[in-house]
Chain A
């Protein structure tokens, strides 16, 4: 489907007939706001991965309490990654909480407030992202600090 069709689908509240001119306008707006490289009439499958991701963000409802994401920037180039995170962090200002899953340590440290590490069926205590560095995080991921069958002892 085209970007306009996606916008119409995502924005629909009530009504029977689609307001196509309106949907095209809001598609154009989103394209500009999210810097999507495409036109309202472009097919979503013809866009690059980064632009598809930006479109996805554009399709999210504006006021959210919680946003869950898995590898939100997986496979994207650096520029797209940066841009998408800027938009995501923007969303936290009105109070949207974001929980995301990633295996990119830099991304984890740069973008989050608190980090949880999963290992062998156990969960670490919440870590303050500003007080952990890459090495510590790496050790935790490697299983260091997790006791056999027991809980992680917090170092904080």
Chain B
């Protein structure tokens, strides 16, 4: 259950930033994937030349760069190419996904094997050790996830950066008139979100209970899940901590569901789908209530 939590938490932290700026960063899945690709690239390139700790740190930095650059592309497409970030993001997700398939089947394939199943797993020295024996998440991952969300919480509430992003999200034109350099701030929002998504990608290749390899679909829908969490939390950073934990539990819990009750494990997906609907319905009701109050 904790396995899925950290990547979702990191994505939530990133999405809080873009949502605050009024941006729909649907491209977050691709940003996770690019983070994972960059991290894998570094770990493959330096496999024998660096000790584990600097290697993992370097991979984390690479993942941040990878996710950040991918998000920056979405932003540049939006601001200078007039491509809505939703469509740009979807396109970039697709490209990132295809890139993993290409890498896994091509340059990074396992010797003699042509399977999309994944790259050669990393040596166990590059697996983050579990926080406590028997727990399938490492201290590093947990701290990273919680620190990210708390820092974002502070940044959005307490800093001029957060205030300006909020102004952009509420009213782009007014924010501009009040002297906010809107283009630069929107790009910054994308890059920060991408960087956090890249970190999530890093946890998916280096994490305690990851598969320790790059494989297609590595993003696992965590980015989309995080979008749901953040919307459900009404853009509240602190609320998104328990809500993301709950969602991670559902996505992992469907395993238990199958074991306990021999129910089809795709039921987990059904429950998630129902939640999405519930969010939409409550969102609609809320809008009506607000309208009536006016």
| Of B108-116, B122-130, B158-166, the one touching chain A | B158-166
Chain A minimum-CB-distance residue to B180? A9
Contact A10 B178 (CB under 8 A): yes
- Chain A, interface size category, equals 10 to 19
Contact B160 A16 (CB under 8 A): yes
Contact B159 A17 (CB under 8 A): yes
Task: Report B3-41 CB contacts with A as 1/0, cut-off 8 Å.
Answer: 000000000000000000000000000000000000000
Chain A minimum-CB-distance residue to B294? A46
Tell me if B170 is interfacial: C-beta within 8 Å of chain A. Answer: yes
Tell me if B167 is interfacial: C-beta within 8 Å of chain A. Answer: yes
Residues of A within 8 A of B160 (CB): 8-9, 12, 15-18
Contact A17 B180 (CB under 8 A): no
Residues of A within 8 A of B180 (CB): 9
Task: Report A1-28 CB contacts with B as 1/0, cut-off 8 Å.
Answer: 1000110111010011110100000000
Contact B178 A59 (CB under 8 A): yes
Contact B166 A18 (CB under 8 A): no
Contact A1 B167 (CB under 8 A): yes
Contact A18 B178 (CB under 8 A): no
Residues of A within 8 A of B162 (CB): 18
Within 8 A of A (CB), among B169-219: 170, 175, 178-180
Contact A9 B159 (CB under 8 A): no
Contact B158 A9 (CB under 8 A): no
Task: Report A84-126 CB contacts with B as 1/0, cut-off 8 Å.
Answer: 0000000000000000000000000000000000000000000
CA distance A112 to B143 in the complex (A): 63
CA distance A16 to B175 in the complex (A): 18
CA distance A12 to B179 in the complex (A): 10
Question: Could you tell me the distance in whole angstroms from the C-beta of B176 to the nearest C-beta in chain A?
Answer: 12
Residues of A within 8 A of B170 (CB): 1
Residues of A within 8 A of B178 (CB): 6, 9-10, 59
CA distance A9 to B180 in the complex (A): 9
Do A18 and B164 contact each other (CB < 8 Å), given the known contacts A1-B170, A9-B180, A59-B178?
no
Within 8 A of B (CB), among A10-68: 10, 12, 15-18, 20, 59
CA distance A20 to B175 in the complex (A): 19
Of B158, B164, B166, which one neighbours A17 at CB under 8 angstroms? B158
CA distance A15 to B159 in the complex (A): 9
Chain A minimum-CB-distance residue to B166? A1
Residues of B within 8 A of A9 (CB): 160, 163-164, 167, 175, 178, 180
Contact B163 A8 (CB under 8 A): yes
CA distance A6 to B167 in the complex (A): 9
Sampled A-B contacts (28; CB under 8 Å): A1-B166, A5-B163, A5-B166, A5-B167, A6-B178, A8-B160, A8-B163, A9-B164, A9-B167, A9-B175, A9-B178, A9-B180, A10-B178, A10-B179, A12-B160, A12-B163, A15-B160, A16-B159, A16-B161, A17-B158, A17-B159, A17-B160, A18-B158, A18-B160, A18-B162, A18-B163, A20-B158, A59-B178
Binding site for A on B (CB under 8 A): 158-164, 166-167, 170, 175, 178-180
The 10 tightest CB contacts between A and B, nearest first, are A17-B158, A12-B160, A9-B178, A17-B159, A9-B167, A16-B159, A10-B178, A18-B160, A9-B163, A1-B170
